[in-house]
Amino acid sequence: MSTPFPFTAVVGQDDLRLALLLNAVSPAVGGVLVRGEKGTAKSTAVRALSALMPALDVVAGCRFSCDPGAPDPACPDGPHGPGASETRPARMVELPVGASEDRLVGALDIERALAEGVKAFEPGLLADAHRGILYVDEVNLLHDHLVDLLLDAAAMGASYVEREGVSVRHASRFLLVGTMNPEEGELRPQLLDRFGLTVEVAASREPDQRVEVVRRRLAHDDDPAGFAARWADEEAAVRQRIVAARELLPSVRLGDGALRQIAATCAAFEVDGMRADIVMARTATALAAWAGRVDVLAEDVRQAALLALPHRRRRNPFDAPGLDEEKLDDTLEEFSGEGRGEGEEPDPDDGPGGGGGRPAPDDDGPRNDDGAAEPGAGEEGGERPADAGSGERTPARASEPFRTKVLSVPGIGEGAAGRRSRARTEHGRTTGARRPRGALTKLHLAATVQAAAPHQRARGRSGRGLVVRRDDLRQATREGREGNLVLFVVDASGSMAARQRMGAVKGAVLSLLLDAYQRRDKVGLVTFRGSGAELALPPTSSVDAAAVRLESLPTGGRTPLAAGLLKAHDVLRVERLRDAARRPLVVVVTDGRATGGPEPVALAERAARLFAADGTACVVVDCESGPVRLGLAGRLADGLDGVAVTLDELRADSIAGLVRDVQGTRRAA
């Protein structure tokens, strides 16, 4: 077994180490979600924590790690009477991103269950992690249904396995630690809320600290055992402190004053529900125990808020995480006194930032009475003539995002789990049955009985039993939803560059990005203007990155529509090689003009036919405005074998857009 990097040798990352230690002291805190860029010691710190956890006494031979002093009465390996016990280190179990549901919760032997009526249960990772650490690296890439199972077990302290009427339940209490790189996509808010604490980590920008990181890493790699021996005393001291804090924890007093500060802080940052209050209370108590105190102080409440609230405060998906510490200090100060009047309330005008309300946009110029941006210096109040000039304009701010209608890819796919298009998935409604390919995971009971019934006489069936053989087993086929690659192809030419018009276009794309975030899609961004097109954002799961690129999008120049379409087609070709199962949805945002290069209209038509030939689902968002419209976007949609929608029709609450969908509206080539 390899020697882990010592926990106490990790340089910096104070918040990360503190959050992990608080969970070691009080697992009821609810685990830690560690967010940060790659190469910031996230995994190293988590793996190092397992060596600090106190050893466990377990019932000898129990696959579910029952405590000899209080065995689980419903343990599948029980009942456990007085008997032998053994001591072993606390486990750290890693859940791979590609794990199956059966690997997580355990599996039943379907053949024995049908033929013999016995519960032949093979425990999964949730059983292995009982009374230890369950570590999920890249938790944001884990399929949603696995995250749901994982967090339900963490909340209830037990795992339930149901297979065709056969039921198994076992204890599953563990310290849940997840790590993620936000650039690869976010977790849904309701799943974020199930993690007790969250920590943002980043590499130090101090040269001396970076030097020390490299020095220690190289020393450990050269001689892991020797390096660990040099830190043995520090490791032992932290281990003893964890044990002492656990013993002190039941004696810590959480007074009414601290509770009032906790409640006021959660209310000030507008967190939903009561879980934040409970987590803050448990965290503040653990902080006091870790400090060797029996009373919770205001400093404990403040630190608990910084760890428990950033991922719970109400914010838009594209807003930066974190808390406004000035607002936090003001709230704690306001509710620090014991003699607060009954009718007093915090000042509702706390200003922007920190999650107390929607952050105010940065002003880049004067605004009118409705809050809309006024034309900047040297800009016309109306729309600029098409393709007038080639100079860049100051990027226009996006208008307020809105809820969009559902755009989906026709047919049935087999891509990654998501919420956009129909797909064959492991979870969803049952649509049929087939012979299993590999291990049987979802039995279709009726189809299995139907396959076995004609052979009962030949198999010598006696009595009421049904003789079922492996060839009779049928796998249930299920239909759910998949995530897609939504590739935005945005016209940034002069004909789109008028400030008011481009602001509406950016608002529409931002709304579609928000929809993609909620539906677990990958997104990419191609822009075209002037003399060519560029891939502004390669396909990624981070819609935050796409929103940032969109906000700073330069505009102006001619309209090389063909170049934009060809660039998008090339991006899709490469992505199909990387992930053939993920189906694309191309969203072209343009007024349909084509003015760049020789024979621009003919070239654009030929480029559009490439998408039609590939069968790629396409939507053209028609940005043409004004009393006289040329209908160019509609003709482009015909060439793409797609559908055109206006900005108004894109809204989910638009009367014109209530029924229209990509599904069923593609025109014949």
Please state the φ and ψ torsions of residue 618, each to the nearest 5 degrees: -135, 145
Helix (H) or strand (E) holding 601: helix 600-614
SS3 labels along 651-668: ECCCCCCCCCCCCCCCCC
Closest CA to 483 of 140, 36, 100: 140
Q: Is 239 tagged catalytic?
A: no
Strand-pairing partners, residue 226, are: none
Round to whole Å and give the CA distance between 635 and 573.
24
> Locate tokens 């209530």: which residue?
658
Among 635, 604, 605, 614, smallest CA distance to 571 is for: 614
Residues 592/633, Cβ–Cβ less than 8 Å: yes
Alpha-carbon gap, residue 14 to 11, rounded angstroms:
8
Rounded to whole angstroms, the Cα distance separating 125 from 134 reads 8
Q: Which of 260, 275, 549, 576 is catalytic?
A: 275
Which pair of structure tokens corresponds to residue 310? 């950033």
d(CA 254, CA 42): 31
**Six token digits for residue 119:** 């519960």
Q: Name 420's Cβ contacts closer than 8 Å, sequence gap at least 6.
A: 406, 407, 408, 409, 481, 482, 483, 484, 519, 520, 521, 585
Query: Nearest-5° angle of CA 629, CA 634, CA 637?
Result: 155
| DSSP 8-state secondary structure symbol assigned to residue 384 | P
CB neighbourhood size of 362 (10 A) = 6
Count other C-beta atoms under 10 Å from residue 188's C-beta.
16
Q: Give the start-end residues of each E strand in 499-612.
A: 522-529, 532-540, 584-590
Q: Which residues contact 224 (CB under 8 A, 6 or more apart)?
A: 2, 3
Find all residues with CB under 8 Å of 225, minimum gap 6, and list them: 3
Nearest 10 degrees: Cα torsion 475, 479, 481, 486: 90
Helix (H) or strand (E) holding 423: strand 417-425
Tokens of 631: 């209908």
Q: Hey, which residues are catalytic here?
A: 275
